[in-house]
Structure 1
Amino acid sequence: MNRIVVIGSGIAGLTAALRLAGRHEVAVVTKGRLGESNTALAQGGIAGVLGADDTVESHIADTLEAGAGLGDAAAVRTLCTEGPERILELAAAGVAFDRDESGDWARGLEGAHSIPRILHAGGDATGRAIVEALTNALRAQVAAGRVTLLERTMLLDLATSEDGDAGEVTGVNLLRERTHDFLPADAVVLATGGAGQLYAHTTNPDGATGDGLAAAIRAGAAVSDMEFYQFHPTALAGSGFLISEAVRGAGALLLDDRGHRFMPEVDRRGELAPRDVVALAIHRRMAAQDGQPCYLDARSMPEVTSHFPSIAHGLATHGFDLATDLIPVTPAAHYFMGGISTDLDGRTSIARLFAVGEVACTGVHGANRLASNSLLEGVVFGARAAAAIDTGIDKTDEDLASAERLEASPVGEALVGTDSRAGSAVSRDELRALAWAYLGVERNDQGLRSLLHHLGERQPTVPGTRTLPNDSIGLTPQTLSERVETANLALIARSIASHALTRRESRGAHTRSDFPAPTTPLFQEAASC
């Protein structure tokens, strides 16, 4: 049996761990409690072709069009083809998807989908339902002795050998309270999610600090599409509380501060345009009205409160009634399309290191993620990574798909790094303000260079096992972990800025005010579909 370490307990990590349990020695490491992740907070549903009036080809076409010409066709086909079977497996595991009056699974419509194909559970609590089913299954494996669970344990770094161009992973360095532990592994699966806490305005939980991505960068793993960070159009102004795209899919409208509905003037699809289009439209409308928020209007929707109970409850805690009030909304950082470059089985450029879910970049999202494809991505590629490990973790893929995407989104020599335990030159609040100002919905050359100047352009450190810093003596565990997280976010900010400087065009979620137009024929073809 091989020793497999899975870092993260969202849908991707749990899927991989459950499939590996019993055939390998599996350890699941999670920074918080089991299941605390972006998955658990997902209000939107999971997209999949499960209706007779829908086709896989249609789902593929919608995903590629939303990706603004940069989606990897093979990855998208894999996602959309294998997705329905994975959804059926979730249902078999106990996820109770909502049903319509006829008893069939109810299917909702969300932005940039050409047909209703979004399954929900609990109205707007799909992620919570999935996490509950998968964590229950994992705890059963723990009780049976087939999985070791390490909660409240933070990834510090990957340990790698010196063999080969990038070496191979040999284990992980962990922080538990103030203890620095080394856990050996024959393979490591990174499923650590995104890095939304980089931004001053985000829908992500506190733990989304890019720990796995930063560790992979320090270890020398290839990354791609780092300039593409998706901003959700409708977060409650001032709080970051997410108001799902499903509300607009059910009929809610967007209004400016004068009560004017403006999205039909921006895109023929109105409020159901791709997220990058809607977020940019709101951002620019807010700029034109001196920073005042726009409004989500769901007042004419029948039974909207019962249809979206979690959202209605969350808004009520902030003093708003979804059924009777105009809800002030602004864009907020939501989902990282870029990440660790992988093939279709989760393999990275470092042998025995796999990445799945939001931390990975398979190319499936291109420049802009199609709504409700994120949960699908986690379960599809989590399962594929587990199958690849079962087949043989020594196998390498010389045709790693990331190589082509790196050429399509080059970073040149600009990628820089730092040791996560050396601290950061800026405070967390300063870093988040800088990222929002210079890496936000719109970027430009001056702002990107200003951010790099503030953070310092340091050379990459040598990968390998390291020790905690000498100045960590006397720090509380919380303070120490916060320092590590802030340094991780600073490293990721530099990588995003470096990629964004190189992409001298506007594409999907990457908008350059100094290069407002897309530049390649591929985009023009996708846009005319």
Structure 2
Amino acid sequence: MIDVLVIGSGGAGLSAALAAKEAGASVLVIGKMYPTNSQTSMAQGGMNAALGNVDEDHISLHIQDTIKSAHGLCDEDMVRQMCGDAPKTIEWLESIGVPFSRLDNSKEGIATISQRQMGGASAKRACYAQDYTGLKILHTLYDTCLKEGIDFMDEHYLLNLIVPEDTVKGATFLDIRTGEVKQIDAKSIVMATGGYGSIYHGFTTNMYGATGDGIATVLRAGGAVSDMEFIQFHPTALKHSCILVSESARGEGGYLVNEAGERFIDELKPRDEVARAIFAQMKEAQRVFLDVRHLGEEKLMELLPQEVELCKLHEHVDPASELIPIKPVAHYSMGGIDVDYALEVNGIKGCFAAGECSNAKVHGANRLGGNSLLEITAFGRFAGENAYKHSIYASSKPADDAQLQKDQKEIEAIFSKESSVNFYSSREALGNLFYEKVGIVRENGQLNEALQEVIAMQVSQQQMGISDKNKTNNQNLIEFLEFKNALLLAPTIISAAIARDESRGAHYKVGFEEENEDFKKHFVLQWKD
């Protein structure tokens, strides 16, 4: 039996795997895609740590900025742990070979790492690698896992956790390549499956597969979720493709302008404020642009080469000489699996969660730019260490195959069922519904309408199915399972948004435009028999 099973092979999962392996655990990392394809690769701008290499800075300022951005809806002890761990986390990443951009490229060590300013920060604090920061961290973590002999099972889709008597014993998976349903037994599990931004299908910077699979699985298994109403909208995505233009473009001096050429917001305010300012311009029929022309081509190619190529490829504009058309879209889910101080899932013993799928109470109502890469690495390692500690005392007796047999029957039923409703149309409709009625600005009437429409979709789901009946490499099946998970989570988001009659961070509600101390609390949801 495996000591630590890590589900998800992005930055949080790989960090957890390395920490558990270093502690002495047997480790298996299992994911529905290959590690280098994970969402971590899309994080561009940087990773916060109070090193003070460019501006005077201190861990206490990082803590203050994080709490302020979270609008008080965070656990200050967890924030202190994350921010306090940041310098040594950067030092660890530097030691395994992450190629951070430097003040002096002839030297190494964290004292020479260059830093840039992100929105909501009181200093230049984000360590970066041009605008490929997440990608380079991810590749380095993966290379290190391979060097350490950590085992991987790629292209395995998580179906369900095995949780007899409130303690996790393993999980079931669909082998995408063969179509076989498998059971993996483990003494402890780390969930690192990412967020649920792709519920906003067509209006998100996230990949299609970011449908909250792990969160839905934990909810089905009896675990708790919290703060599901808090979804961060990134201010600057390319208008037509929704591809992210990193906050680093504004951190390096880019302007936000309307079609009259007027700047209408301080570009380095927290993301929720900037996104609403852009949304207000759009409501007045104003097109909005990111202007980096004044930075010059040489500086753009030195600091933001990826942004330049993405703009040319997807918007057919050259940022060195043209305005970049942008719009705010769903980017990051602050809510997720509810965990305790050890990152253990509330309601499931031996199951830990880290990264965007986990609500460790550090981002609150609005994540501070630059804190996501920090969280997945620092807390990924923390979850891996704690999972190993649990495994030392856990029983090595395998679980029975009741969940395996149930999941095998359910997959067989999907193949045998004839469908009369196209779930791809429903997936697109769900994305439109959420962007329009559960979006940047919310209103109770529209939220209730959205809830009724989601309930209707859940009813019609009985008529949905797949057209591709091949057992092997069936992407149609995977996307159907992802849509089912998105549809399961959708009411948790809307219900929490309806209940929160205030405006706080990323949750802004018409008629309740101020923060209300009565709502300075976490909304926790859990299924009970």
- Please state which band the TM-score falls in when normalised by the shorter chain: 0.7 to 0.9
The question of whether the paired residues in 2 share the 8 Å contact of 1:344 and 1:384 is answered with: no
Corresponding residue of 2:398? none
SS at match of 1:186: strand
- Partner residue in 2 for 1:26: 27
> Who is 2:158 aligned against?
155
- 1:324 corresponds to 2:321: yes
Instruction: Give the distance between the partners of 2:454 and 2:189, measured in 1 at CA.
Output: 30
User: Contact between 2:467 and 2:476, CA under 8 Å: does it hold in 1?
Assistant: no
Q: CA deviation at 1:305?
A: 2.9
Alpha-carbon distance, 1:514 to partner:
3.1
Instruction: Check 1:67–1:479 CA distance in 2 against 1; reply closer, same or farther (3 A cut).
Output: same
The secondary structure found in structure 1 opposite 2:267 is: helix
One-letter amino acid matched to 2:381: A
Change in CA separation of 1:175 and 1:249 when aligned onto 2, cut-off 3 Å = same
Equivalent position to 1:286, from 272, 282, 285: 282
Deviations 1:32-72 (A, max 9, x none): 11232111111111000112621110000000001112121
1:410-429 Cα distance to aligned partner (Å, 9 max, x none): xxxxxxxxx99979977211
Residue 85 of structure 1 is matched in structure 2 by 88
Gaps of 5+ in 1: 264-269, 397-418, 460-468, 524-529
Matched, 1:507 2:504: yes
**Which residue is 1:369 aligned to?**
367
Match of 2:389 among 388, 391, 411: 391
Distance 1:90 1:260, change over 3 A: same
Give 1:518's aligned residue.
Answer: 515
What is the CA deviation profile of residues 462-488 of structure 1, one whole-angstrom value per residue up to 9, with x for unaligned ones? xxxxxxx99899355211111110011
Which residue does 1:125 correspond to in 2?
132
Residues 3 and 184, structure 1, Cα contact 8 Å, conserved in 2: no
1:492 pairs, out of 485, 489, 494, with: 489
In the alignment, what sits opposite 1:141?
A: 148
Distance in 1 (CA, whole Å) between partners of 2:173 and 2:438 is 30
Tell me which residue corresponds to 1:192.
193
1:437 maps to what in 2? 436
Cα deviation for residue 515 of structure 1 reads 1.8
- Pair 440,481 (structure 1): closer, same or farther in 2 beyond 3 Å: same
**Which whole-Å CA distance do the structure 2 matches of 1:391 and 1:28 have between them?**
18
1:6-17 maps to which residues of 2 (within 5 A)? 6-17=6-17
Aligned mates of 2:14, 2:193 — CA distance in 1: 11
Deviation of 1:21 after TM superposition, in Å, equals 2.2
- In structure 2, runs of 5+ residues without a counterpart are 395-409, 459-463, 521-529
Instruction: Tell whether the 8 Å contact from 2:19 to 2:382 is kept in structure 1 after alignment.
Output: no
Q: For structure 1, which segment, 16-25 or 332-341, has the greater mean C-alpha deviation from structure 2 after superposition?
A: 16-25
Residue 215 of structure 1 corresponds to which residue in structure 2?
A: 217
Contact 1:224 1:361 in 2 (8 A): yes
Q: Tell me which of 235, 241, 253 is aligned to 1:239.
A: 241
Cα displacement (A) at 1:173: 1.1
SS of structure 1 residue aligned to 2:5 = strand
- Alpha-carbon shift at residue 117 of structure 1 (Å): 0.8
Identity %: 38
Deviations 1:4-27 (A, max 9, x none): 211111111000111222622211
Counterpart AA for 2:508: T
How far 1:390 moved relative to its partner? 2.9
Question: What is the SS of the residue equivalent to 1:329?
Answer: strand
Instruction: Report if the CA contact (8 A) 1:235-1:242 is conserved.
Output: yes
- Is the contact made by 2:18 and 2:381 (CA closer than 8 Å) also made in structure 1? no
After TM superposition, the score normalised by the length of structure 1 is 0.85
Residues in 2 aligned to 1:355 and 1:66: alpha-carbon distance in whole angstroms: 23
Counterparts of 1:79 and 1:59, CA distance in 2: 10
CA distance in 2, matches of 1:347, 1:341: 8
TM-aligned CA distance change 1:506 to 1:470, over 3 Å: closer
Paired with 1:293 and 1:239, the residues of 2 have a C-alpha distance of 16
Amino acid at match of 1:191: A
2:172 counterpart of 1:173: yes
Q: Which residue of 2 aligns with 1:114?
A: 122
Look up the match of 1:105.
Answer: 113
**How do 1:388-427 and structure 2 match up within 5 A?**
388-393=386-391, 427=426
Give, as a single letter, the amino acid of the residue that structure 1 aligns with 2:282.
M
C-alpha contact (below 8 Å) 2:466/2:480 kept by paired residues: no
| Counterpart check, 1:296 vs 2:303 | no
In structure 2, what residue type is equivalent to 1:70? L
Q: More deviation in 499-508 or 46-55?
A: 46-55
The list of structure 1 runs, each at least 4 consecutive aligned residues, that deviate by more than 6 angstroms after superposition, is: 419-426, 469-473
Between the aligned partners of 1:218 and 1:457, the Cα distance in structure 2 is: 21
RMSD between aligned residues: 2.4
Partner deviation per Cα, 1:136-180 (whole Å, 9 max, x = no partner): 1112234xxxx321111111111110x2xxx11111110112211
Deviates further, 46-55 or 88-97: 46-55
Secondary structure (helix, strand or coil) at the match of 1:332 reads strand
1:6 aligned counterpart, secondary structure: strand
- Corresponding residue number in structure 2 for 1:353: 351
Distance 2:134 2:434 in 1: 28
Partners of 1:56 and 1:81 within 8 A in 2: yes
**Counterpart amino acid of residue 490 in structure 2:** A
User: Residue 384 of structure 2 aligns to which amino acid in structure 1?
Assistant: A
Secondary structure of 2:337's counterpart equals strand
- Relative to structure 1, is the Cα distance of residues 297 and 395 closer, same or farther in structure 2, using a 3 angstrom cutoff? farther
Secondary structure of 2:294's counterpart equals: coil
For residues 482 and 458 of structure 1, the distance between their equivalents in structure 2, rounded to whole angstroms, comes to 16
Distance between the aligned counterparts of 2:341 and 2:145, measured in 1? 25
How many residues are matched?
475
Q: CA deviation at 1:395?
A: 8.2
Q: Distance in 1 between matches of 2:271 and 2:229?
A: 16
Give distance in 2, aligned partners of 1:36 and 1:107.
26
For 1:285 and 1:258, locate their aligned partners in 2 and report how far apart those are by CA, in whole Å: 11
Q: Which amino acid aligns with 2:438?
A: L
> Structure 2 CA distance, aligned partners of 1:192 and 1:29?
10
Alignment-derived partner of residue 416 in structure 1: none
Question: Is the partner of 1:79 in helix, strand or coil?
Answer: helix
1:280 and 1:274 map into 2 onto residues whose CA distance is 10
**C-alpha offsets along residues 256-292 of structure 1, whole Å, 9 cap, x if unaligned?**
12211111xxxxxx11000000001101110111xx5
Q: TM-score, normalised by structure 2?
A: 0.85
Quick check: 1:195–1:208 contact (8 Å CA) kept in 2? yes
